[in-house]
Amino acid sequence: MKTIEDRGPNKVSGTDIIIRKAGLFRSGLVVALQVLVDCASFFLAYLCSLLLRSGGDVRPELWDEYIRAIFLQVAVYFLFFILFSLYRTLWKTAGIDELIRVGFASTLAAGTGYLISLFTGWLLPVSVYFAGAALVIMFAGFSRIAYRLLRRIQGGMMGSDQWLRALIVGAGEMGSAAIRQMNEQAAMRMRAIVAVDDDKSKVRRMVRGVPVEGTRMDIPRLAEKHRIDVIVLCLPRVDEKDRREIIALCSRTTCAIKTMPSMQELMDRQLPGSMRDIDVGDLLSRPEREYDETGIREYLLGRTVLVTGGGGSIGSELCRQIARFEPARLVIFDVYENCAYELAQEMKRQFPKIRIAVEIGTIRDTKRLDELFGKYKPEVVFHAAAHKHVPLMENNPAEAVKNNVFGTLNTAQAAVNHGVRRFILISTDKAVNPTSVMGASKRMAEYVIQYMNSFGKTRFAAVRFGNVLGSNGSVIPLFRKQIEEGGPVTVTDKDITRFFMTIPEAAKLVLQAGAFAKGGEIFILDMGEPVRVDDVARTLIRLSGFRPDIDIKVVYSGLRPGEKLYEELFLDEEKPDESGFPGIYVGKVQSPPPEVTKRNLDWLYEQIESGEDARTCFTALIETYHPEKGNEDPS
């Protein structure tokens, strides 16, 4: 017997069929109701027209003509209403466009009906036809917007204490759409009270009955004046710098903040035009960079691409980005089957033409890696598999070495043995002057990549970047969970800073760096300015509608073992060069000679196998490893 998992991508279950049939039945009922309402509108419109024409006293012979002619007119009207697609519009979205189509259809139907009546002899007075058309427009048009009017009246009947008071930022088309959405969708439980716009020609005017009372600088004042509960950003075309400034102004209030999707989100992610919660990524993200998609496409198009750790935060986003460049096959390799399986199902839905393979295994298993590379013959490898949690690796140092160092070595050797063209390691800023076992293990992984670049024809390179917003184990999900639970929000140190980048931005830059790889480079991604984690925590609290230290406490727990007060992206001696592409630098890395690295790796393996402490080994192998300096102030 086949399970649900055995079904092909195009097969449909019995439950799916029942749901679809139910949906079709409901749609059929709605269309039937529209037809009945229109039928009543046609008969009533022409009856009223005839009565108006006759002053309420209709001659018997004119009644006979009306009865013969009205059925012809109804048929003509239905024909034109179908031609103008008036039975394909949802009532809840009916608006001015539908009224215009009703007007055109009714006018043409009246004229056509009159011409046909000239030939049939079933003729009514000319004024009846055109007065009837005007009444049809009134009756049929009203029936189409009545549903929306009823929804608005229903919302208006709610008590003022039952809905949230909203401030709209941006009084353009999207602001107007947001106000309309609030007015017509009672389930939102939200009403627009006031709006702001930086276009001063809109100030002191109204948008859908909502006054525009100032510019962005007035947001804190107006939020307090009007007792605003939620601020809605309607800024589809604003650049990222202005967007961050506006969010910063909003975060000075105690209001929750929501946003309508930007034009980039609508185009890239195809999101529906409804509002979503603001995210800290909106505040910390940088302006959208242009990418050399031609260069990326050249090394991915038609290739077999393997992503180790493909089910993780970075690995999964890499898979999504890679698929856009149409590889022949995408192989997702991960030790955790659930995440890898869910990603594969998502990918098959979004990219049905790309062959997706999921393989389960660990990079510690050389035999499994040899099987994997032999089976698929990948031409490009992105190595994202790693242990990355700093405190956990401090407690399990040998595991960090086995996975991050020798797992990378195993994968790189398999790549050389099977003729892989490019191999890109995902590294971290914690590898720079490491103070943690995790950071030191990733620094050793960078040594491995440069060492392996001496063998075969594979181009090895590493890409180094900082914290990724929303990734597994990152601080943002932890803060959100703590806020949801009512606090406190724990920050290790008031002065701790980190570089932040969004997952999509990091993945795009990794792919871009891969296009530049000639062999042996360490690419360093521009992370912008470091951000105080304390500021991030307090901003998240405000974005959630709470007041830091009043509604939600912020407590400082102290630096954890191996944790640095600040991060760096490159060593002093690296002196990174421009790569020729904005946002990517190339570090001038002085790596040990291949024979030295080989000797060091053999020694490290022996020490770890004999139970030696990894910290002692790293101290001997990595000159810049200083575990005691994790809590030093950079100043």
Tell me the CATH number at 328: 3.40.50.720
491 assigned to some structural domain: no
Residue at which a domain ends, from 156, 185, 202: 156
Residue 326 — left, alpha, or beta (φ > 0 → left; ψ -120 to 50 → alpha)?
A: left
323 assigned to some structural domain: yes
Look up residue 184 and give its two tokens. Answer: 């017509």
Catalytic residue list contains 388: no
The DSSP letter of residue 212 is B
Q: Which of the pair, 512 or 130, is modelled with greater confidence?
A: 512
SS3 (DSSP) at 423? strand
- Among 235-249, 270-284, 417-431, 537-551, the range with the most confident prediction by mean pLDDT is 417-431
Average pLDDT over residues 227-241: 84
Is a pLDDT exceeding 60 seen at residue 154?
Answer: no
pLDDT above 70 covers a percentage of the chain that reads: 80
Max distance between CA atoms of the chain, in angstroms, equals 113
Flag the least confident range among 2-11, 312-321, 326-335, 431-440: 2-11
**What pLDDT does residue 574 have?**
57
Please check whether residues 332 and 273 belong to one and the same domain.
Answer: no
251 assigned to some structural domain: yes
Flag the least confident range among 41-50, 84-93, 424-433: 84-93
Residue 346 — left, alpha, or beta (φ > 0 → left; ψ -120 to 50 → alpha)?
A: alpha
Banded pLDDT at 604 (limits 50, 70, 90): very high
- What integer best gives the mean pLDDT of the chain? 81
pTM: 0.65
Is a pLDDT exceeding 70 seen at residue 22?
Answer: no
Please check whether residues 245 and 356 belong to one and the same domain.
Answer: no
Please check whether residues 139 and 101 belong to one and the same domain.
Answer: yes
What is the spatial distance between Cα 509 and Cα 462, in angstroms, rounded to a whole number?
Answer: 12
* Long-range interactions of 50-54: CB distance < 8 A, separation 24+: 50/124, 50/128, 52/131, 53/125, 53/127, 53/128, 53/131
Please check whether residues 110 and 36 belong to one and the same domain.
Answer: yes
**What pLDDT does residue 2 have?**
34
Q: With contact defined as beta carbons under 8 Å apart, do 102 and 144 qualify?
A: yes
What is the spatial distance between Cα 163 and Cα 166, in angstroms, rounded to a whole number?
Answer: 9
Please check whether residues 127 and 268 belong to one and the same domain.
Answer: no
Of the listed 202, 430, 442, 564, which one is catalytic? 430
Q: How far is CA 293 from CA 122, 201, 206, 325, 514, in A?
A: 68, 40, 44, 8, 12
176 assigned to some structural domain: yes
pLDDT digits (tens, 9 = 90+) for 345-359: 999 999 999 999 999
Is a pLDDT exceeding 70 seen at residue 610?
Answer: yes
Q: Which domain holds residue 252?
A: 160-278
Please check whether residues 460 and 320 belong to one and the same domain.
Answer: yes
68 assigned to some structural domain: yes
Average pLDDT over residues 108-133: 81
554 assigned to some structural domain: no
Report the first-to-last Cα separation within the chain, whole angstroms.
67
Average pLDDT over residues 212-239: 90
Average pLDDT over residues 569-575: 60
The DSSP letter of residue 456 is S
SS3 (DSSP) at 93? helix
**What pLDDT does residue 15 have?**
47
Minimal CA–CA distance to 502: which of 292, 314, 265? Answer: 314
Please check whether residues 381 and 453 belong to one and the same domain.
Answer: yes
Q: Which of the pair, 281 or 21, is modelled with greater confidence?
A: 281
Q: Would you tell me how many other CB atoms lie within 10 Å of the CB of residue 626? A: 14
- Among 162-176, 356-370, 422-436, 586-600, the range with the most confident prediction by mean pLDDT is 356-370
Please check whether residues 338 and 214 belong to one and the same domain.
Answer: no
pLDDT above 90 covers a percentage of the chain that reads: 32
Average pLDDT over residues 475-492: 87
Look up residue 459 and give its two tokens. Answer: 């181009």
Average pLDDT over residues 417-443: 92
Is a pLDDT exceeding 90 seen at residue 21?
Answer: no
Banded pLDDT at 11 (limits 50, 70, 90): very low
Residue at which a domain ends, from 113, 136, 156: 156
Instruction: For residue 451, give the amino acid letter.
Output: Y
**What pLDDT does residue 177 have?**
84
Average pLDDT over residues 276-305: 77
Beta bridge partners of 167: 194, 231
Look up residue 126 and give its two tokens. Answer: 């000319």
Q: Which of the pair, 97 or 592, is modelled with greater confidence?
A: 592
Banded pLDDT at 446 (limits 50, 70, 90): very high
Q: Which of the pair, 110 or 382, is modelled with greater confidence?
A: 382
Flag the least confident range among 130-134, 525-529, 607-611: 525-529
Q: How far is CA 53 from CA 124, 475, 622, in A?
A: 10, 76, 100
What is the spatial distance between Cα 46 and Cα 234, in angstroms, rounded to a whole number?
Answer: 45
Beta bridge partners of 552: 548
Please check whether residues 310 and 420 belong to one and the same domain.
Answer: yes
**What pLDDT does residue 213 have?**
94
Please check whether residues 345 and 440 belong to one and the same domain.
Answer: yes
pLDDT digits (tens, 9 = 90+) for 24-37: 445 566 677 777 88
547 assigned to some structural domain: no
Is a pLDDT exceeding 80 seen at residue 56?
Answer: no
Residue at which a domain ends, from 222, 246, 278: 278
Q: With contact defined as beta carbons under 8 Å apart, do 285 and 260 qualify?
A: no
The DSSP letter of residue 548 is B
145 assigned to some structural domain: yes
Q: How far is CA 557 from CA 249, 261, 437, 542, 561, in A?
A: 29, 37, 21, 21, 12
Flag the least confident range among 23-37, 111-125, 248-262: 23-37
Instruction: For residue 510, give the amino acid letter.
Output: V
pLDDT digits (tens, 9 = 90+) for 121-147: 777 788 888 788 888 878 777 777 666
What is the spatial distance between Cα 506 and Cα 500, in angstroms, rounded to a whole number?
Answer: 10
Is a pLDDT exceeding 60 seen at residue 270?
Answer: no
Instruction: For residue 326, give the amino acid letter.
Output: E
Q: Looking at the 3D structure of the chain, how many domains does it have?
A: 3
The angle subtended at Cα 305 by Cα 303 and Cα 307, nearest 5°, is 170
Please check whether residues 168 and 251 belong to one and the same domain.
Answer: yes
Average pLDDT over residues 442-447: 94
SS3 (DSSP) at 380? strand
Is a pLDDT exceeding 80 seen at residue 461?
Answer: yes
Please check whether residues 142 and 192 belong to one and the same domain.
Answer: no
